[in-house]
Amino acid sequence: MRDIQASDAKTHLPQILDDVERGETVRITRHGRPIARIVPETTRRQADIDEAIASIKELRKRTKKTTIDEILAFRHEGHKY
């Protein structure tokens, strides 16, 4: 969680909302004292998580199993040594 002054929050609200949408919690302070907290909407976040899991499961049904050697090879694919 990060703290931000109320005056800065007013100026940077669109960016703060983007950060919260990505899962970050932001605490608003005034004169160093916490006055509010902006937290992600849990139902929306859970819906996004459920959708991602369903997509992964569907992809796994359509693709062959990956070996550990393939995973290790993919890890370095595109690296320049």
Residues 6+ apart with CB under 8 A from 66: none
Give, for all 81 residues of the chain, the pLDDT tens digit: 999 999 999 999 999 999 998 889 999 999 999 999 999 987 777 888 899 999 999 998 888 888 888 888 888 887 776
pLDDT of 71 reads: 85
For β-strands 26-30 and 33-38, DSSP reports them as antiparallel
- What is the model's pLDDT at position 77? 81
For residue 81, the model assigns a pLDDT of 63
Half-sphere exposure of 42 (CA within 13 A, CB side): 0
CATH number listed for the domain at residues 1-81 = 3.40.1620.10
Going by C-alpha positions, the residue among 6, 29, 7, 26 that lies closest to residue 16 is 26
Rg over CA atoms, the chain = 20
Indicate yes or no: pTM above 0.85.
no
